[in-house]
Amino acid sequence: MPNIKFEQDRLCDACKKGKQVKTSFKSKQLVSTSNPLELIHMDLFGPSRTRNIGGNYYALILIDDY
DSSP assignment string, 5-64: ---TT---HHHHHHH--PPPPPPPSS----STTSSEEEEEE---SS--TTS-S-EEEEEE
| Number of structural domains found in the chain | 1
Tell me the pLDDT band of 62, cut-offs 50, 70 and 90.
very high
pTM for the full predicted model: 0.46
Q: In angstroms, rounded to a whole number, what is the distance separating the alpha carbons of residues 33 and 41?
A: 13
Domain boundaries, position 43: 33-66
Q: Is residue 9 part of a domain?
A: no
Q: Is residue 17 part of a domain?
A: no
Q: Is residue 55 part of a domain?
A: yes
Q: Is residue 50 part of a domain?
A: yes
Q: Is residue 62 part of a domain?
A: yes
| Lowest-pLDDT range of 7-16, 21-30, 35-44 | 7-16
Query: For residue 64, what pLDDT is reported?
Result: 92
Q: Is residue 21 part of a domain?
A: no
Cα torsion at 62, 39, 37, 32 (round to 10°)?
Answer: 140
